[in-house]
Amino acid sequence: MTIPIRPSAKDAIIDAAFQILSGNPGASLSEIADRAGVGRATLHRHFAHRHDLIRTLGMIAIEEMEGVVDVACKTAESYSEALRLALTALIPLGDRYGFLAHEPIDDDPEFRATYQRQLDETRDMVEEAKREGAFDKSVSTIWIANAFEHLLYAAWESVKAGHNTHDQAADLAWRTLTNGLGKAKK
């Protein structure tokens, strides 16, 4: 007989906070404690203030996202392939991306610098993929990088809602990013 292992209270709080705050940034700490199955006192023992929880979540999100991208892209033979592999690897972490997109954490210099570095790395990969011919060179790198981020979020939402499998969502997001949705009119 296998006995399920209950996550620590801190891990349960972190998981609950990601789930709730990625869709509702204004959620209360009480809602997070309820979802985690702990009392507010337990939540406050681990995170004295909302800001402490938010900062911790931001750093975890960035570290986890960087970790899966590093692993996924190790075997990539081009920047285009690395972007596709990164997109596919990041879909399961959509709640992390959703959290980062909705929570204002800009007041923390360490977080801001780390997040900016991550954005810069994505833009660098897009720029190199443009040089490889994956994207139209007349389309700005910023536009493509933003589309990448929004398609990542759309893919995660699609999987979360049960509309697509992970692989289907990854394929649709990549096809949309590289081919668009229709024929360009000249």
pLDDT at 116: 83
65-71: Cβ within 8 A, 24+ apart = 65/90, 65/93, 65/96, 65/97, 65/118, 66/118, 68/92, 68/93
Q: How many domains does the chain have?
A: 2
Same domain, 16 and 79: no
Same domain, 41 and 76: no
Domain membership of residue 141 (yes or no) is yes
pLDDT at 22: 80
Same domain, 24 and 114: no
Q: How far is CA 180 from CA 122, 151, 159, 177, in A?
A: 19, 11, 20, 6
For the chain, what percent of residues have pLDDT higher than 90? Answer: 55
Same domain, 159 and 96: yes
pTM (2 decimals)?
Answer: 0.79
Same domain, 75 and 122: yes
Domain membership of residue 186 (yes or no) is no
Q: Tell me the per-residue pLDDT of 30-87, one tens digit each, with 9 for 90 and over.
A: 999 999 999 999 999 999 998 899 889 988 988 888 899 999 999 999 999 999 999 9
CATH number for the domain spanning 26: value is 1.10.10
Is 182 a residue whose pLDDT tops 80?
Answer: no
Domain membership of residue 122 (yes or no) is yes
Q: Which residue has the tokens 């660098």?
A: 124
Domain membership of residue 1 (yes or no) is no
Same domain, 68 and 17: no
Same domain, 16 and 85: no
Same domain, 138 and 172: yes
Q: Residue 130 is part of which domain span? A: 60-179
pLDDT at 135: 92
Q: Tell me the per-residue pLDDT of 155-171, one tens digit each, with 9 for 90 and over.
A: 988 998 899 999 999 99
- Average pLDDT value for residue range 120-128: 93
pLDDT at 23: 77
pLDDT at 126: 94
CATH number for the domain spanning 82: value is 1.10.357.10
Domain membership of residue 93 (yes or no) is yes
* pLDDT band per the 50, 70, 90 thresholds, residue 7: low
Domain membership of residue 107 (yes or no) is yes
The phi, psi pair for 184, rounded to 5°, reads -75, 140
- Average pLDDT value for residue range 2-31: 82
Is 183 a residue whose pLDDT tops 70?
Answer: no
